[in-house]
A and B are shown apart, each in its own frame.
Chain A
Amino acid sequence: MLRQSWWKITGVLLLIYVFIAGFLIRVPNIGNLYETSRNLFFHVPMWTCQLVLISISMVYSILYLRKNDVKNDIFAVEFARTGTVFGALGLVTGAVWANYTWGAPWSNDPKQLGVAIALLIYLAYFVLRNSLSDIDKRGRIGAVYNIFAFSLYIPMVLILPRLVESLHPGGKGVDGNPGLGGKDLDPTMTKVFLPAMLGWILLSLWIATLRTRYKILEEKKLAI
């Protein structure tokens, strides 16, 4: 599965479609967004990618704790690492977008604060791992921490911002759906948004599996 190319080609084709259609379709004129609503195809999937990657990472951490296989630990770390990269990209692109629509790159929006905290929690995961030299201990403590980090990410990013007033869609008293759009999303934009989601997720999985394969190779080389 990791080495098969059909899903990689699918992801690449979807993204090429998204990058062409994303610039050329007509987008509805909402509020002061104007043409920036096209960012929906680029900024939002970063977060979906992060969510998918760290979910997989969390599952591998549980598997590691159950089976004690080093491979599972490598999967957990590398997926979390790629997820954090995508999260950082989402944070930066969000700041750029916010600068031109909300007036400032950082306005202490609940979602901005939530993801900042969540990203710091994940950065602490890598620091924690690097501070332990014993491989077994590093794997086990890292796995437990990773599960904890994931269970903090969900309320921080997905639940809390919907309960309080937020500039992001879906907050208290704000129209819109922060999920896949639902009926709120313009039908033309849906045709690009859903392929964008799938394409970006497949690309992020490709990058994460590449890193994982590289790390496993490194591990094997040490073992020989």
Chain B
Amino acid sequence: MKKICCTFFCMYLLLLSAACFAQNAEAPGDKPGMAVGMRANGKIYVVVAVVVTILSGLFLYLANLDKKIGKLEKELRTGSEKKGDLL
């Protein structure tokens, strides 16, 4: 589980850099009609970073919940097996 969390975090860091590349690809003079508002004033990658951070936090939380439920399931399974032995 720790490994999965680590993998997620590494992937997230790797993907963060992808956001920077996308921003570079936009030439400064190249502004079609749709580049108004949100994109024109730049710094959209800040929003992306925030959103991705929140998303990663939620995913980690979900993974944690998954782990906890899995642990309970395991406990209950071994517990019932022990009971079966006694009977």
Contact = CB atoms under 8 A, between A and B. Distances in A.
Interface of A: 3, 5, 8-9, 12-13, 15-17, 19-21, 23-29, 34-35, 206-207, 210, 213-214, 217, 220-221, 224
Contact of A224 (B48, B72, B80): B80
A110 to B, nearest CB: 29
A24 B19 contact: yes
**A contact face: mostly helix, strand, loop, or mixed:** helix
Contact of B37 (A9, A35, A220): A35
Contact of A9 (B4, B12, B18): B4
B28 interface: no
B44 A23 contact: yes
Interface of B: 4, 7-8, 11-12, 15, 18-19, 22-23, 32-39, 44-45, 47-48, 51-52, 55-56, 59, 62-63, 65-66, 69-70, 72-73, 76, 79-80
Contacts of A9: 4, 7-8
A9 B63 CA distance: 10
- Report the 6 A-B pairs with minimum CB-CB distance, sorted nearest first: A24-B22, A29-B34, A23-B48, A12-B59, A213-B69, A29-B33
B34 A28 contact: yes
Contacts of A214: 69
B60 to A, nearest CB: 10
B7 A17 contact: no
Contacts of A20: 15, 18-19, 22, 48, 52
B70 to A, nearest CB: 6
Given A24-B19, A24-B22, A207 B55 contact: no
B44 A16 contact: no
A15 B12 CA distance: 11
